[in-house]
Amino acid sequence: GHYSRAEAAGYVAALAGAGVTVAEDPCRLAPDGHFAQLQAGSPIPILVDRSCASQEDAALYLERGARALSTKPGRVGLQETRGIAALAAARGAK
């Protein structure tokens, strides 16, 4: 989340050019139009981590094209983690 929203696309492109296969939270993410554009224009999945803490969050990101979601049982609980994973799998996301 270090980069600004304006810098995120360039940063992700640079990562992809260097052989990186996923970019975790390149900027402050929200399940909005900016995220949808960032992911749609990215050659690699944007891994949504910090701002995906519930199945509701996961559903919103997936509706906007998320291709990878992070699940952390210690932070959100095992049941919520399993729900997020199931939603991601149903949409073909990691």
Tens of pLDDT, residues 22-73: 999 999 999 999 999 999 999 999 999 999 999 999 999 999 999 999 988 9
Q: Is the pLDDT of residue 17 over 90?
A: yes
Phi/psi for 43 (5° steps) reads: -75, -10
Contacts of residue 57, Cβ cutoff 8 Å, sequence gap at least 6? 31, 51
Tell me what pLDDT residue 79 has.
95
